A = this chain, B = another copy of it.
Amino acid sequence: VPSSSTSHRGSYHHGNLTQALTEAGVALARDGGPEALVLREAARKVGVSATAAYRHFDGHSALKEAVKDVCQERLRAHMAATIAQGEPLPDPAAESLRKLRALACGYVAFARAEQGLFRTAFCKIENLQEPTDLELLESPAYMLLAQVLDETVATGAMSPQRRPLAEAVAWSGAHGLAMLIVDGPLVCFPEEAIQLAIHATIDVLIAGFQH
């Protein structure tokens, strides 16, 4: 019966059940994806009755939403880390392309390393009203991408005429690649072919952005 909470250990009141349940849910999603995110199981993991979860979440959907948020943030963090861990290049144009490349690699690498979390980050949540507007595009991951794309234009590494909707273009390439490798027909590719496919895709995208 693990608990990462620092207070109220073993007492009747848990202390921070909201976070504990979310973390347990993330653990479930990690191996097993969104289908494995089961409210009762999360409660079991925390060592609490299933009913207790209803004090903190408005049912299963709400828990799923919280877990999904964590997964999205993890993805964003992994992309940012991939950018940060590379060696910056002196030439600004080359540097902006290095970042873009790192972004895509980080995206795909996260999907491969944490396929459960990745799939959860994009899972459907029932009974959720669509945000109708483009507010979703203010998500951190999207803004990170937009910022790097702006940089490629500013440094001349990307043709300005390609800039509109370039977020969707780049995202599509990385997302499709990740899905096909993780979940789709490319799963049976040998590792080296997968590596080649990843870099071929990124190369074509960048070449396309430049013309």
Contacts and interface: CB of A to CB of B under 8 A. Distances in A.
Interface of A: 122, 124, 130-134, 136-137, 139, 142, 162, 164-166, 168-169, 171-180, 183-189, 193, 196-197, 200-201, 203-211
Given A130-B187, A171-B176, A172-B180, 15 more contacts: A124-B183, A130-B188, A133-B188, A136-B185, A165-B193, A165-B197, A168-B180, A169-B204, A171-B180, A172-B201, A175-B176, A205-B205, A206-B208, A207-B208, A208-B208
A171 to B, nearest CB: 6
The 6 closest A-B pairs by CB, nearest first: A176-B176, A208-B208, A204-B208, A172-B176, A175-B176, A168-B197
Contacts of A200: 162, 164-166, 168-169
Contact of A179 (B130, B165, B176, B185): B176
B124 A185 contact: no
Q: How many copies does the complex hold?
A: 2
Nearest to A133: B188
A132 B204 contact: no
A192 B184 CA distance: 29
16 contacts: A122-B185, A134-B188, A136-B185, A165-B193, A165-B200, A166-B200, A168-B180, A169-B200, A169-B204, A172-B180, A173-B176, A173-B201, A175-B175, A179-B179, A207-B211, A211-B211
The majority secondary structure among interface residues of chain A is: helix
Contacts of A174: 176
A137 B185 contact: yes
A178 B179 CA distance: 11
A116 to B, nearest CB: 12
A27 to B, nearest CB: 21
Contacts of A166: 200, 204
